[in-house]
Amino acid sequence: MFAWYTLGWFVVAWCRCLRRSRDLGAFVAPGAPFVHDGAIEARMVSALGAKSAGKVALYTVRGGQCFLPREQLEQRQLQDEWLALSRIFGFAEYSLGVLAHAELFTGAAGGVATDEHRNELYEFTDRKGRRLALRGDVTPQFMAMLRDQGEAAGGASPCGAVAPSQLSKWFTLADCWRYERPGHCRRRNHLQWTCDIVGVPGPEAEIELLTMLVTFFRKIGLTSEDVAIHLSHRDIVPAMLGVLGKSTSDSQWLHEFRKVLDKYRKVSQPEFEAMLALLGFTPAETAALLDLIANCRTLSSIEGVFPADAAFVKVLRRIVEGLERAKCADWITFDTSIVRGSDYYTGAVFECFDRSHPQSRALAGGGRYDNCLPDLRGDERQLSHAVGFGMGNVAIAELLRSRGRFAPWSLADVVVFTPPSGDEQSTSSGGDLQRVHDVIDGLRQSGLRVYHYYKSSKWQKALDFADRVGAPIFVHPDVGTSGVAYQVHRLADRSKVKLDGDDLERVVDHIRGQVAEHVELQKT
């Protein structure tokens, strides 16, 4: 049976790849220097790819993320939100190198490892013959670090600080690499915001992490009408099969069924039904399964199908009750097709989706992964309980960009022009230039971003540059017989005012006020 199933799976997957490569148009051509879609990719390729057209870009690998300043600012805005929210919730930040021993990700050393980890691993041998790999997920590293640090410290903490074993909430921004085919919202590397709660066996951990995700979405201007959090539990799959009268005694068959179920939103219904048929589902059983998936969308519907005293139903009920107290329950929809990380997730699982494009790649996902480390002793036993989520930068950035949620790009708040030193057209004296530098320093000391432009001797070129980089204010010295003055241009309405250069404090205060007005207008 499995030989025919494997052959059928291969045919379906091959047809699926052909259809995606023909219809989506999102796969990056070999050698393309950047991997952004649509207008952003076109702009970046035209900027940097002209000379390397038809050649392999050497500064990155196909599918690797690279950003020009405008896109990098978007990434920085996203990262700042991640950092700020993690700290608001009291999570402790850690950092781990992207390179580690391959056995950590293949399962040879025990711990968290999945088929996905193994199949998409960037693995190689170094000069000393060690098998190393670029991490595809930070969770295996994180749990191994906690275990090893606990063994080394013996529960103690250096310099009187909090010991790792005393901390429950952790977060990091980790660069992760996976050898997968680049496509829409899929890159070979992504920056992942990962948050984990360790040592808490109850659903309070899931409730806080889900509340954290909802808070993040709200902070970036999204609502429950934009994003849905699909919630399920690992034990729902065998329970659902039990309702259908299907046996779950064959672990290999159950594993294959989970893989098919994971394709529910990713393939067409005929393709999905064909995959189920290869697993031995009759048309009636397939129809019943589709009906279960479609109708089990609320807690009450879950309780109506499965025994109310089932352990997973009780867990899901407590999670929903906690989210109701946190005023986040309207973001939740139950989804029995969620089979995320069935290799190591042991309890509740969840994924976040754009409601307008539910078939797109998940914005974030996570769940409970208890007992992922073997042979724990003493204080290490707290590592038996863990819940976490990860959010990559690719899908969420695409969503924010499509909704216009990123702030407009601006390299500086103020562009200040002075002619290049030694320029024959310059009439500024050393004292005049000193006052200009005093103004620049005063503005920077006040916290403004100041770009000092001295590339050209013509202030009109500097003005054009200020406009291009999104600076709201442009300043250039206006030298006269009675001393130096400053022409302050407000680029939004092309108005300008002349200020006395001898009153440094007034000049700085006026420019700061102009920038503040611009910021307020941007908020409206």
- CA distances for 88 relative to 169, 198, 212, 388, 471, angstroms: 12, 18, 10, 17, 31
Query: Exposure pattern of 2-22 as b/e (b: 16+ CB <10 Å)?
Result: eeebeeebeebeeeeeeebee
Distance between CA 478 and CA 485 in Å, rounded? 5
Task: Report the C-alpha gap between 261 and 253 in whole angstroms.
Answer: 12
Q: What are phi and psi of 211, to 5 degrees?
A: -65, -40
Place domain 414-523 in its CATH homologous superfamily. Answer: Anticodon-binding domain (3.40.50.800)
3-state helix, strand, coil in the chain (%, to 5): 45, 20, 40
Overall pTM surpassing 0.75 (yes/no): yes
List all residues 6 or more positions away from 496 whose beta carbon is below 8 Å from its beta carbon: 487, 488, 489, 490
Length of the chain: 524
Phi, psi for 456 (deg, rounded to 5): -125, 155
H or E element, residue 21: helix 2-23
> What order do you get walking across the sheet with 414-417 strand by strand?
450-453, 414-417, 473-480, 483-490, 495-500
Residue 335 and residue 333: Cα distance in Å, rounded?
6
The C-alpha angle with vertex 174 and arms to 168 and 177, in degrees rounded to 5, equals 135
One DSSP character per residue, 415-426 reads EEE-PPTT-TT-
pLDDT lower than 50: segments of the chain: 1-2, 5, 9, 12, 17-52, 159-160
DSSP one-letter string for 410-477: -S-SEEEE-PPTT-TT----HHHHHHHHHHHHHHHHTT--EEEE-S-S-HHHHHHHHHHTT-SEEEEE
pLDDT of residue 374: 72
Report the C-alpha gap between 236 and 274 in whole angstroms: 22
For residue 99, the SS3 value is strand
With a CB cutoff of 8 Å and minimum separation 6, the contacts of 149 are 164
14: CB partners within 8 A, 6+ apart? none
Q: Which amino acid appears at position 508 of this protein?
A: V
- 473, 515 Cβ separation under 8 angstroms: yes
Q: Quick check: 377 and 368 in contact, CB under 8 A? A: no
Alpha helices in 24-68 (DSSP H): 38-48
**Domain segments of the chain: what residues?**
414-523
Are 265 and 274 in contact by the 8 Å Cβ rule? The answer is no
Residues contacting residue 407 through CB under 8 Å, at least 6 positions apart: 77, 522
The pLDDT assigned to 87 comes to 98
Q: Quote the pLDDT of residue 18.
A: 44
Taking the CA of residue 93 as centre, how many other CA atoms within 13 Å lie in the half-sphere pointing to its CB?
12
Angle between helix axes 2-23 and 269-278 (nearest 10 degrees) is: 160
User: What is residue 165's predicted lDDT score, i.e. its pLDDT?
Assistant: 73
Which are the contacts of 67, defined by CB distance < 8 A and separation ≥ 6? 74, 75
Quote the pLDDT of residue 117.
62
Give 308's DSSP letter. Answer: T
